[in-house]
Structure 1
Amino acid sequence: MIRTLHTCALDNATLRAARALLEDAFDGELTPEDWEHCLGGMHALAWDGDELVGHAAVVQRSIAHNGRPLRAGYVEGVAVRADRRRQGIAGELMGELEEIIRRAHDFGALGSSDEGLPFYTARGWKPWRGALRILTPDGVEDTPDELGWILVFGGELDLDGELLCADWRDGDVW
């Protein structure tokens, strides 16, 4: 069963279970900043009885496309428990988030791993080809190392244009 709730509606036990699931799924490489990036938006949670078996979140970020500020639904923390992978759970989680993106945001964006690229592109997410920049406390910086890993969904975007993420954050900026 998939439940979709805002961070503020999640109790402490559910938040602990989600964080533990992500830490396990990312082989202990989930940083405190990675977890913080998952909070403050909508969570899609896959349950098998009382056990959390999957998690994905979408948070709002301010991203300008070719100079025009837009509300981006930024996907974070997509993971399925190892023994439940390849059963369609990630697809169900993403389906929930994609509907939220369609209804509440101008477009969706995410940073993918190597393993995730085929999954996301098969769902219609497109790799960004243009310039990627981030507004830092010291000004605008290019982030060319992110090309090929930042994917977008929906919206009317020129994939060869510029994306400027206007909300600085600790940890991975994209």
Structure 2
Amino acid sequence: MTELVTAHTHALDAATREAARALSAEAFGDLSDEGWEHGLGGVHALVIENDVLIGHASVVQRRLLHAGRALRTGYVENVVVRADRRGRGHGAALMTALEWVIRDAYELGALCAADDAAAFYSARGWQAWRGPLAALTPHGPAPTPDEEGGVFVLPSASPGAVAPDLDGRLVCDWRDGDLW
């Protein structure tokens, strides 16, 4: 039996958190402590098959600056499906659950996609950011050109949502580890 569960980080027991981290580390290979922590403190979507975690993704709140506004953004992190279970719709199920959260609770959705995942997100309505990217750092705003082409946004239907100018500048808030 396969089930999809959503829960806030505080509602996940230690074993589930460890299983999600192990699954993410296996898929990404170089998952740092900061990379794991980026996905905590928000809503997790979990695919569980016969009591075994086979898929995980989370959405956390961040502030992205765009067009003179600090946008309350649902930022997607650590999207992974176990290698032997890919191609069965589990990734789509994870994203559908998180996209509902984004559309109902945030002004914008955002994520940074690996090159091989760009088509997956585009097919779901995520739009590639075409404009310049930057990050607020302890030393002030700094360009992040290495991420250009990999950041995607999902417009929201929530009150206060904006229709982003995909050619404008987008600036992320500071965090340790990977900024995007």
User: 1:25, 1:134 → 2: CA distance?
Assistant: 26
Superposition map of 1:1-174 within 5 A: 1-26=3-28, 28-155=29-156, 156-165=163-172, 167-174=173-180
SS of residue matched to 1:17: helix
SS of residue matched to 2:115: coil
Query: Where do 4+ consecutive residues of structure 1 move more than 4 Å?
Result: none
Consecutive unaligned residues in structure 1, runs of 5 or more? none
Task: Report the TM-score, using the length of structure 1 for normalisation.
Answer: 0.97
SS of residue matched to 2:130: coil
1:69-97 CA-to-partner distances (Å, cap 9, x unmatched) read 11010000000001100000000000000
Q: How many residue pairs align between the two structures?
A: 172
SS of residue matched to 1:56: strand
Deviation at 1:139, TM superposition (A): 0.4
1:27-48 CA-to-partner distances (Å, cap 9, x unmatched) read x211111101010100000001
Deviation at 1:49, TM superposition (A): 2.0
Q: 2:160 — aligned with what?
A: none
Consecutive unaligned residues in structure 2, runs of 5 or more? 157-162
User: 2:131, 2:65 → 1: CA distance?
Assistant: 13
Task: Report the TM-score, using the length of structure 2 for normalisation.
Answer: 0.93
Between the aligned residues of both structures, percent identity stands at 56
Deviation at 1:120, TM superposition (A): 0.5
Q: 1:150 corresponds to which letter in structure 2?
A: V
SS of residue matched to 1:110: strand
Q: 1:157 corresponds to which letter in structure 2?
A: P
